[in-house]
Amino acid sequence: MPFAGNPLHAYRGALDAYPVRFGVSSFVWPAGYAENVTRLKGIFAEVQLLAYESQDKSPISGDELRQLAALKDGGFSYSLHLPSPSRLTASGGDGEAVIIKAIETFAPAGIGNYVLHMEQTGCFDLPLAAKRLERILKKTGVAPEHICVENTIGTPFTPVWAAVKGLGVSVCFDIGHHLYEKGDPLAFIDTYGQHIRMCHIHGVAERDHRPLSAIPEETLTAVLAAVADCKPAGAVIIENFSVGDVVESVRCLAHGARRLLPREVRA
């Protein structure tokens, strides 16, 4: 039973009335992908499968992929967080091959969108990164708009986007990262809104990836309304990595911020 002893059961359907599709990261319980998906499906419209490490270090089995494929249906989807750091901006290394292998490995699960980091790690060769990304698109056959380049802490997003936007890729707006760096999320949405396909959202305090209750309610409300106005094709992923934090974030959405959404957004 997916909801036996599951504290999220009390919030089943609580997010359905929002004008955006909410998802969550795959590792909430200390278990595998399929077991987490079984417990999260029905609460969330999407699970973002985390493939932070290369398949050589953290391989997924064929059986697990078959289970994931069986759990997917018309009302439930997957996105894939590609290995991080991607190492696409640094000379040398195998970052390009690692990204390609991750995309090809998880393909049987039926992935809708892909989240890609382009971090500044020492060398920051953006023309090289753009060429590598172009090759990744050609070798995997993924439609460019399904690759969502994320704003990451410590890496300026403006030059990253300038380097890759010509490829037709999309933006994954990590709201928590932007708040952590004291940025204005509404200004980011004004600048990149037409390209935002996915979002990550999490609270920030002494660290990021806190429950959404760590975001001031007025800020959370304004950001969600602005995101809804963008009509992103993908999901808004709650990036919490424990049961307690996810429950607190869903509780916050169910009982707090929704009441403050503008009337026209509630409809």
Question: 93-140, pLDDT tens digit by residue?
Answer: 788 999 999 999 999 999 999 999 998 877 789 999 999 999 999 999
Instruction: Residue 109: name the closest of 153, 146, 62, 142 by CA.
Output: 62
Indicate the Cα dihedral angle 150, 155, 159, 165, nearest 10°. Answer: -10
**Structure tokens, 46:** 């999407």
Question: 17-71, pLDDT tens digit by residue?
Answer: 888 999 999 999 999 999 999 999 999 999 999 998 878 778 899 999 999 999 9
Question: 133-185, pLDDT tens digit by residue?
Answer: 999 999 999 999 999 999 999 999 999 999 999 999 999 999 999 999 999 99
d(CA 116, CA 50): 11
Question: 192-251, pLDDT tens digit by residue?
Answer: 999 999 999 999 877 788 999 999 989 999 999 999 999 999 999 999 999 999 999 999
**Structure tokens, 177:** 């990262």
Q: At what angle do helices 185-192 and 217-230 cross, to 10 degrees?
A: 10
**DSSP H or E run through 213:** none
Q: Which CATH superfamily is domain 7-262 in?
A: Divalent-metal-dependent TIM barrel enzymes (3.20.20.150)
d(CA 231, CA 196): 9
